[in-house]
Each structure stands twice: as structure tokens, then as C-alpha cells.
């Protein structure tokens, strides 16, 4: 979907540049002295605003991409810490809790593997939430048992709570994107920039398709990379490989 939208933007920019050229040619036909004076100031303002918007959106997208990667590692660390503290529980409770942790990690390691399939993703999230509730209930009960060490509740329950909380943090981070109006503004400024490029080149008798295509291509690729960073489970730039840390952790939970 992102690729098709970017391709559409590229074609729209070519059309916009050609439209700008026609406007410029018509202007020259009416006024042989040249194009409207002061156009350079307008062009400078438009391209400066376009560059500023690209810089901010790219920086924000890259920052959110890195945050989502680090959250996967943080979740693995939280689960690993809680797993180690299960050793404070009595033997039978410890065995039951470890089985729950293995089932839970099986779900969490694949929960976002196919985000395009919303039904499957929602089912996995619901399954993970049910396991969280069961883990918390059994951990609380085990810590209150007379044969449980006094420090079990103090050490284990905060670790389980952190393990649960980070799932909400990851889910929220996955939905954290700039408002849609930002992308519309970016596309609109790109089209206006292409229009000005075509208008500025209208005095040339021969069309310079090379410069127009390069301009449209660079901007389209830049917009695509920004969108790909914002949705790192759907395009070419992905964080799926980071899930390996959860897979490796699951293998180590014996």
C-alpha cells in the first residue's frame, strides 16, 4: 500500500511539473519579457518549508523506529528477570509458573509477526492478555503461601508487573504516528515544489525530463522511507529480526 501511494505521488509530481511548465509557457506567450518577478522568493519559501518538514518527519520516524526496536529488547529483559525470580517460589508453584511463562513467551514472540492480519494479531494479543492475568493471579497466590519466602512478593511481583506493563508500552508505541495531516502536507508541498520546478523551467525550449524525474524520484523515495520507518512491520524496512531476541529467550527457558 505504501509503495503504491509513493508511486502515485511520483506520477502526480511529474504531472504537476508538466502543468507548471504549461503555465509558464502560457505566461511567456502573453508576456515575452519573462516570468513574474519575485518568483524566486516564493520558491525559496516553499522549498525551505518542504526541507524543514522532511527533516522533522524523517527524524521523528527514525527515532520512533529505534524506540520500537529497543522496546522488544526491554520486554525480553523484563520476562527474563521475572523468570529468574520464579526460583523464589515453592517447587510446585515454580513449575506451574514456568510452564505459563513458556506459553506466554510463545505467544509474545509471534504476536506482531503478521500485523497485516488484524484478526490474527488481535487473537494473539487477547491470548497474551489472558495469560498475563493467569500469571499475575497465580504469582500473587504463590507469594502468599506460608512456605513461600517473605521476600518473594517483594521481588517477584514488581518484575511480573513490569513484564505486563511493557506490553502496553509496545502496543502504544506501535500506534504512535504523526497526524495524517502531516503526510498530506508533505505530499502537497511536494506537488507544489514540482509545479514550481516545471514553471521555472518553462523558458527552456526543450524539456529537461532528467531534472524533473530526479526531483520527483528523490522526494518520492524520501517520503517512502519516512512512511516505511513509521510502519516497520509492513514495508521493506522492518524490525521483525528484533523478535529473534524473544525467540532466543524462549529457547533458553528450560
Residues 6+ apart with CB under 8 A from 185: 53
Residue 62: give the domain boundaries. 2-252
Does residue 207 surpass a pLDDT of 80? no
Please provide the distance, in angstroms rounded to a whole number, between the alpha carbons at the two ends of the chain: 42
- Range 194-211 average pLDDT: 79
pLDDT on residue 36: 59
- Number of domain units in the chain: 1
Residue 21 clears pLDDT 90, i.e. is over it: no
pLDDT > 70 fraction of the chain, expressed in percent and rounded: 96
The three three-digit cell numbers of residue 229, written as one number: 520507518
pLDDT in tens, 88-128: 998 888 999 999 999 999 999 999 888 888 899 999 999 99
Mean pLDDT of 131-153: 91
pLDDT confidence band for 33 (50 / 70 / 90): low
Read off the pLDDT of each residue in 12-39 and give the average, rounded to a whole number: 78
State residue 131's pLDDT score.
Answer: 95
Cα(126)–Cα(122) distance, integer angstroms: 6
Q: pTM of the prediction?
A: 0.83
C-alpha 58/C-alpha 81 separation (Å) is 35
pLDDT 10s digits, 41-86: 778 888 899 999 999 999 999 999 999 999 999 999 999 999 999 9
Statement: residue 223 has pLDDT above 80: yes
Name every residue whose Cβ is closer than 8 Å to that of residue 148 and which is 6 or more positions away in sequence. Answer: 88, 89, 90, 93, 142
Per-residue confidence band for 224, with pLDDT thresholds at 50, 70 and 90: very high
pLDDT tens per residue across span 153-166: 899 999 999 999 99
CA–CA distance, 37 with 45 (Å, rounded to integer)? 15
State yes or no: pLDDT of 254 exceeds 90: no
Q: How far apart are CA 65 and CA 234, in angstroms?
A: 13
**Is there a contact between 186 and 223 (Cβ–Cβ < 8 Å)?**
yes
Amino acid at each position: 500500500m505504501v509503495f503504491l501511494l509513493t508511486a502515485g505521488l511520483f506520477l502526480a509530481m511529474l504531472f504537476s511539473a508538466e502543468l507548471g511548465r504549461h503555465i509558464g509557457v502560457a505566461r511567456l506567450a502573453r508576456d515575452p519579457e519573462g516570468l513574474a518577478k519575485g518568483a524566486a522568493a516564493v520558491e525559496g519559501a516553499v522549498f525551505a518549508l518542504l526541507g524543514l518538514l522532511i527533516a522533522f518527519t524523517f527524524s521523528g520516524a527514525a527515532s520512533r523506529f529505534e524506540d520500537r526496536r529497543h522496546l522488544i529488547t526491554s520486554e525480553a529483559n523484563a520476562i527474563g528477570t521475572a523468570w529468574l525470580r520464579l526460583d523464589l517460589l515453592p517447587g510446585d508453584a515454580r513449575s506451574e509458573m514456568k510452564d505459563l511463562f513458556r506459553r506466554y513467551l510463545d505467544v509474545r514472540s509471534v504476536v506482531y509477526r503478521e500485523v497485516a492480519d488484524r484478526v490474527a494479531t488481535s487473537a494473539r494479543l487477547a491470548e497474551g492478555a489472558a495469560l498475563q492475568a493467569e500469571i499475575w493471579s497465580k504469582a500473587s497466590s504463590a507469594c502468599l503461601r506460608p512456605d513461600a519466602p517473605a521476600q518473594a512478593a517483594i521481588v517477584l511481583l514488581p518484575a511480573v508487573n513490569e513484564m505486563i506493563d511493557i506490553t502496553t508500552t509496545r502496543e502504544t508505541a506501535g500506534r504512535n504516528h504523526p497526524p495524517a495531516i502531516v503526510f498530506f502536507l508533505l505530499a502537497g508541498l511536494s506537488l507544489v515544489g514540482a509545479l514550481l520546478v516545471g514553471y521555472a523551467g518553462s523558458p527552456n525550449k526543450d524539456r529537461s525530463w532528467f531534472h524533473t524525474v530526479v526531483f520527483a524520484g528523490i522526494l518520492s523515495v524520501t517520503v517512502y522511507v519516512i512512511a516505511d520507518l513509521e510502519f516497520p512491520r509492513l514495508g521493506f524496512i522492518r524490525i521483525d529480526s528484533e523478535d529473534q531476541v524473544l525467540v532466543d529467550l524462549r529457547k533458553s527457558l528450560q
